[in-house]
Structure 1
Amino acid sequence: MIGRITRTVAWFGLAFWILGCGSDSGQPLAEIPDTVSYNLHIRPILSENCFACHGPDANKREAGLRLDLETDAFAALKEHPERHALVPGNPQASEAYLRVISTDATERMPPPSSNLSLSDQQVKLIEKWIRQGAAYEPHWAFVPPVKAGLPSDESGWAKSEIDHFVLKAMRERGLTPNPRADNLSLLRRVYLDIIGLPPPPEVLDRFARAEPDLDTVLDSLFAQSAFGEKMAVHWMDLSRYADSHGYQDDYYRTQWPWRDWVIHAFNQNMPYDRFVTWQLAGDLLPDAGKEQLLATAFNRNHKITEESGAIDEEYRVMYAVDRTNTLGKALLGITLECAQCHDHKYDPISQKEYYQTYAFFNTIAEWGMEESTPGFSKKSPAKLPMMEITETDVTDILDFVNLPDSSRRVQVLLANMGKGANYNSLLAESNVLKVSVMGEPDSTRQTYVLDRGMYNAPLEKVSAGVPAAILPFPEHLPKNRLGLAKWLFDPKNPLTARVFVNRIWQELFGQGLVSTPGDFGMQGDLPVNQPLLDWLAVDFMESGWDIQALLRTIVLSATYQQSSQVSPEKLERDPENRFLARFPRQRLPAEGIRDLVLASSGLLVPEIGGPSVKPYQPEGLWEAATSGRGNLSRYQQDTGKYLYRRGLYTFIKRTVPPPSMMLFDASNRDACEVERLKTNTPLQALVMMNDPVVLEASRVFAERLLETEQAIPLLIDKAFYRILGRKPETAEKAVLEKNYQSFFNALEKDTHRAEQLLSVGEYPLNSALPIAERAALMQVISLLYNLEETITKS
């Protein structure tokens, strides 16, 4: 609740600044700026109060009045040709202004029935804007970014170009940067951000004595395969990857080889334009091979039904709609889905343009459900088209795919198929993997605008196209997915680069420069520092869409290297840390928490790729929460090394996603997600105190420390150092040693209780070690894992 209050206060503070102060931090909040800006001051008022009835949506427009376009707003009113909604320079002749200030309830706008009203401050802003000429400005996100000149920095604080922009924004709000973080904190931060794992003690030792050369550190981290795994986590959310189809029966699917490709692509530092082009249209590339085809599985990660009684065309349309909406949210940062049933109410995107975009994804030969399809002698599953991956493919072409041995694959298939499975047929299937990909187009299928988005209500026939307000589709490009990809990466496309660099900024700082990463449109938040966002976007394009270069630029900046300490003054001036006068403290993502626990304990199996795994979870959860049908009706927990894989590889069943990860705000992968929720609940503490992964890691770590036969205080120091990345302070050591002694005294007297504590998990026990020491040290290590600092990046 406190966090919500803080966020609410911060939002209102920013809103008052936007509506009242412009960029001059010296003005009081209620003061009208000297120059009123349409984008900064007026459009937010109109968008909130007027555009629903007088905006882009022709179906909802009233009185024929449109206020979001300059020509329409200045034109004569249809119902009163002698009047105009806006008359530049003359508020008293502007009907829109007169209706806003009217005391007559039947005339006043917004109408009382809407429960909307304008404050005196907003009315004054509108009046002054009209008096100053009512100048409209194009929406910032639809104008291609340009690199502004670097603001000056006489202080010498800046280490990178981006620091100049950050420092300027700080100073305008009376803020100053924090000092640089200490070596060990900074090193831990970089490791967690780049590979998602804590730095090992030997690396900590090296940089505890001298300031780390972060350029060299980044070289070593980018060279690790763990880099691709860390980067793949957010891409799985964005691309709605899961190991089941979704819907009620929720069958098993084999899309994990595509995940292996994503990891591989990030580790190869594949340029972002090629990375996305292959995923959108790899099958359409000249001389496309199996790797390019595999990449297109991105488009087929959506939910699929295999349930009897479903209407085939209804679900087929849903699949194409999902692909269209994912393009908008993930790659363009635009709420295209709002135009599925009618013209977009706020952004200049018509319903026709939505279905023109949809046409790019509406052509492949697929079906909505697993049913007998006319023209085929047997069932044609919704998973078509599919790509087969054989052992020969993995040897010769797709060497990045981690194909387990045959016995392991049969075991997985048996677990997924349940009782009654035929072993011989499974053995044959185990030698061939099938992945849903894009395929040959169905040349007979036409695309229509769908009335209110209904699959069975076609209206006007349309061909492939895009929202012209973003960037008109060039005539020379083919009207297919490959042409769409080229349009996305046209240097004049104003969104693609901005959206990606904003998401990388969000990954590192917890919040993007645009805090609505899926909505750069008129209802989205304004960028907190647009010159910085645009500089990053242009620099990213100029680098050849080099993802590692983008990360390097940010990590080497003074902005990123600040300490996270916060003074009361900074907290009051910038409670949300939007202007980055300190590094934000952020809890690790769900996968990161699991990875840190496993890595620090020594349990982590660093194998790259392969099928998803089923670690510990509450017994009976799947069985109680699903229909009882399908090949995932029961949970078959993995054993051995598969219990200790990174969180990225945890099996995602959409209808029953992994409970501990969901409690830490992981995505259930139902749809494209570009930003995870941030919640704090008591259940998260209960997970850290009781999850078998944490308890088993604590036990194994304790046993490995005790095997060194060193004194307990030294072992506690080592555990602290490895888990938190720093040495304990004197007071902390005293508390931990006192806790150890308390645990030891109690468990030495109650060996049965000690045995119970040590019995968690399947990793073999070291029974040769004294039981009380093992259990007591395990409890201390468990306590360390439960510290807020442990699972926080700061």
Structure 2
Amino acid sequence: MKFFVASSVLLWALSAAAFAGVDYGREVKPLLASACVQCHGANNPKSGLRLDTAASILKGGESGAAVVRGRADESLLVALLKGAHGEIPAMPYKRNPLGDSQVELIKRWINEGARAPENEVPSRWMHWSFGAPMRSNGSEMSMQQGGGHPIDRFIDVALAEQGIEASPLAESATLVRRLHLDLTGLPPTLAEAQKFERAFENEGGRDLAVGQLVDRLLASPHYGERWGRWWLDQARYADSNGYSIDARRSIWPYRDWVVKALNDDMQFDQFTIEQIAGDLLPDAPTSAIVASGFHRNTQINGEGGIDPEQFRIESVYDRVATTGTVWLGLTIACAQCHDHKFDPISQKEYFELFAFFNSTETDGHGGTKSAVHELVGEPFQKEAGKKKTGTTLIMKELPEPRETRLFIKGDFTRPDELVTPGTPQVLPALVSRSAKPDRLDLARWLVDRNNPLTARVIVNRVWQVYFGRGLVETENDFGVQSSAPTHPELLDWLAVEFMESGWSLKHMHRLIVTSDVYLRSSKARPELHLKDPGNLLLARQNRLRLDAELVRDVSLASTGLLNPKLGGPPVYPPQSAEAMKGGQITRAWPTSKGADRYRRGLYTFFYRSTPPPSMMVFDSPDSLTACTRRARSNTPLQALTLLNDPAYFEFAEAMGEVVRTEGVGSAFRRAVTRQPLPQELSRLEGLDALTIGRVLLNLDETITRE
């Protein structure tokens, strides 16, 4: 099966490269697979109409051919998608309709002759994401001929095809704030903002000013903190065990390892290997062993009367699901109890992945020897100028692997056939160092250049941070039910660039944030809303509310309270005494004193059962499972938190002191970077200093990246 699918994908890729225009395999087929094939697939298609291959589309069903080549307006498929048939209801039936841009894509494909690869295999497994990313000949020629920024070339072509004009670049004050927040999570100081604005406004100085600022921010130790939080969301990092007891745990050295690895621009393939199997590396350094704590972020049940084996198995289930989500962008957990309903992952293949994680000494319950913290002695605080050591949780392989069996319906009390470690057949074969593959083999397989998913998944998630939406909207599902990429050639170009750069995340950041598409104004345009209401083609930037930790960090930095210290044990900023009463056990919250009171949100102690309310109100993830995209809500509770939370009231008092010593204008610029308008100043100047401080920290603009 592996050879069959790989060959099919290769044939499709070679055929697709032979012509320009709409790419059936990358654009049309995934769209129809997601929206239509559930009812119009190979198995008992409704009305006799199959939409899983181009040939079956042209053949049609009981109502005749679905497509008339070259004449989209006469094609039944278009009429059904637009709800314009008259006798047959709009399709997809009783589901969300396709967007106008999606219907237009299908119309363009039809008008271009409904071209598709010859000998297309009628299989839903021939999905765009299962083929290796490639830089198409057309895109490479375009780059060589057109010059300019490579990302802009892809975006501008798509805009031109739709007759959409790109927005101008944002103003310099907006850009310096945007770059600082996106790369370090902290606003610029007044001096930093003014320096950039002067350089940016000089004739011909734009590219130089942006490039120099980006290089400086990527070299800042605060870069690792900001992007470390992005990774810790996916690692489901927290400072407690979870479940109802939710006891404290010490795993902060893993958090500090992530920050340092990102600051050092550790190659992402090595970053992956050390987290999945750092303990299995030959002569593994302490840092790599600490990195293996990635999969010790599972919950641990410390309740009495539990079945220890049940919760050990639950931990392994979590590790399989997290690995599939974070690196492969696949919903592998759906095959835990039965074959996956949509993707080519059987239950047996699920348990072959399970076998990689089934032979560690760690478990999912408390109170046993194997759950005791492992001591590490390597200093993690070099950046802070102070060496510290701590205990942390790590992975450790058993001397002999456990026997792994498939569980009937996922029930660990119903073991069935014996399985050995392996990977899904739809993906490239695993290369093992021995007859008994282990986690190190799996880790290397995840970042093998032939793996079609990992590079795509990661660059898509990086892109998502900068624009609020990935090139593939379903950032945690690249399977058959995934959204089609809005810019498939750009996605593949970025994935290949990521790998060819040596898996450098900093290279990808620099590439994205120096593009015009990133630097554009985020101001809404009425005419653009009519043509592209979701801004999928990125004619402008998107306004994004800051993540929970950054809301705190911006308040700390703008008021001058921020303690910039890196790493170390978690801290306990002020919060309501009621906050800790929500769990089964009311735990103490020893409010930090002195400078620790003003650490970045990254270092706030996080109980899974009673997380900090001021973070949860701004949509912080619960750390129970991997979070690949945070929600962005807008509720009255957020404004009330910024007004009345003990920590934010203290920040407002500090901002009030800035008003008294530096004036309203300076305080305003500290909060939002730009100069205040005359009418804004006039409304503020009649208020007392504390009220002004509370107003400035509660502005939508203060907690939003424009």
Q: TM-score, normalised by structure 1?
A: 0.75
Equivalent residues of 2:25, 2:116 under 8 A apart? no
SS in 1 for 2:608: coil
Q: Does 1:250 align with 2:246?
A: yes
How many residues are paired up?
642
Larger radius of gyration: 1
Closer, same or farther in 2 for the Cα pair 1:509/1:92, shift >3 Å?
closer
Gapped runs of 5+ residues in structure 2?
A: 1-20, 67-75, 78-87, 201-205
Structure 2 residue aligned with 1:31: none
2:528 corresponds to: 570
AA aligned to 1:733 is: L
1:780 to 670, 687, 692: 692
Deviation sequence 1:516-537 (CA, Å, 0-9, x none): 1100111111111011111111
- CA positional deviation for 1:737: 1.5
Letter in 1 for 2:423: V
Work out whether residues 88 and 132 of structure 1, in 8 Å CA contact, stay in contact via their aligned partners in 2: no
**Structure 2 match to 1:445:** 402
CA distance in 1, matches of 2:178, 2:455: 25
Match of 2:178 among 177, 181, 189: 189
Is the Cα–Cα contact under 8 Å of residues 447 and 462 in structure 1 kept in the other structure? Answer: yes
Does the CA contact (< 8 Å) of 1:389 and 1:433 recur in 2?
yes
Structure 1 segment 382-393 matched on structure 2, within 5 A: 383-384=371-372, 386-390=373-377, 393=378
Cα distance in 2 for partners of 1:514, 1:308 equals 44
* One of 685, 703, 706 as aligned partner of 1:791: 703
Q: Is the 8 A contact 1:49 1:116 kept in 2?
A: no
Q: CA offsets, 1:85-116, max 9 Å, x none?
A: x868644699999xx99xxxxxxx99xxx977
Q: State how 1:309-348 maps to structure 2 within 5 Å.
A: 309-348=305-344
Report if aligned partners of 1:146, 1:538 keep a CA contact under 8 Å in 2. Answer: yes
When the two structures are superposed, what TM-score results if normalisation uses the length of structure 2?
0.83
Seen in structure 2, the aligned counterparts of structure 1 residues 161 and 295 have a Cα distance that, compared at 3 Å, is: same
Does residue 1:479 correspond to 2:427, yes or no?
no
Residue 722 of structure 1 corresponds to which residue in structure 2?
Answer: 670
Post-superposition CA distance 1:272-295 (Å, at most 9, x none): 111111001111111102111000
The residue aligned with 1:508 is 466
Tell me the distance in 1 between the aligned counterparts of 2:145 and 2:119. 40
Are residues 1:685 and 2:646 paired?
Answer: no
Within the candidate set 264, 267, 271, 1:271 is matched to 267
The equivalent of 1:548 in structure 2 is 506
* Cα 1:207–1:450 shift into 2, 3 Å: same
CA contact (8 A) 1:89 1:131 kept: no
3-state SS, counterpart of residue 728 of structure 1: coil
Contact 2:519 2:541 in 1 (8 A): yes
What residue in structure 1 maps to residue 604 of structure 2?
650
The answer to whether residue 287 in structure 2 is matched with residue 291 in structure 1 is yes
Counterpart of 1:196, as a letter, is: G
* Corresponding residue for residue 575 of structure 2: 617
Tell me if structure 2 keeps the 8 A contact 1:150–1:164: no
Which residues of 2 match residues 95-494 of structure 1 at below 5 A? 135-136=120-121, 138-148=126-136, 149-150=139-140, 152=142, 159-211=148-200, 213-371=209-367, 379-381=368-370, 383-384=371-372, 386-390=373-377, 393-394=378-379, 398=380, 400=382, 433-441=390-398, 443-474=400-431, 479-494=437-452
**Match of residue 425 from structure 1:** none
After TM superposition, give the deviation of residue 664 of structure 1 in Å.
0.7
Q: Is the Cα–Cα contact under 8 Å of residues 240 and 606 in structure 2 kept in the other structure?
A: yes
8 Å Cα contact 2:41-2:51 kept in structure 1: no
| Pair 1:662 & 2:616 matched | yes
What letter is aligned with 1:318?
E
Secondary structure of the residue aligned to 2:634 is coil
Give the match for residue 412 of structure 1.
Answer: none
Paired residues of 1:89 and 1:132 also in contact (CA < 8 A): no
CA contact (8 A) 2:336 2:351 kept: yes
Superposed CA RMSD: 3.6
**In 2, Cα distance between the equivalents of 1:703 and 1:36?**
60
Distance across 1 between alignment mates of 2:363 and 2:489 = 46
Is the CA contact (8 Å cut-off) linking 1:91 and 1:131 kept in structure 2? no
Name the CA distance, whole Å, in 1 between partners of 2:277 and 2:96. Answer: 48
In 1: Cα distance, 2:516 partner to 2:399 partner: 53
Shift of 1:499: 0.7
Amino acid of the structure 1 residue aligned with 2:320:
T
Secondary structure, in 3 states, of the residue corresponding to 2:405? strand
Distance 1:436 1:54 in 2: 48
CA deviations 1:231-254 (Å, max 9, x no partner) are 111111100000100000110000
Amino acid at match of 1:779: T
Q: Distance in 1 between matches of 2:248 and 2:39?
A: 43
- AA paired with 2:615? M
- Asked if structure 2 preserves the Cα contact closer than 8 Å seen for 1:699 and 1:778, the reply is yes
In 1: Cα distance, 2:496 partner to 2:187 partner: 32
SS of aligned partner of 2:555: helix
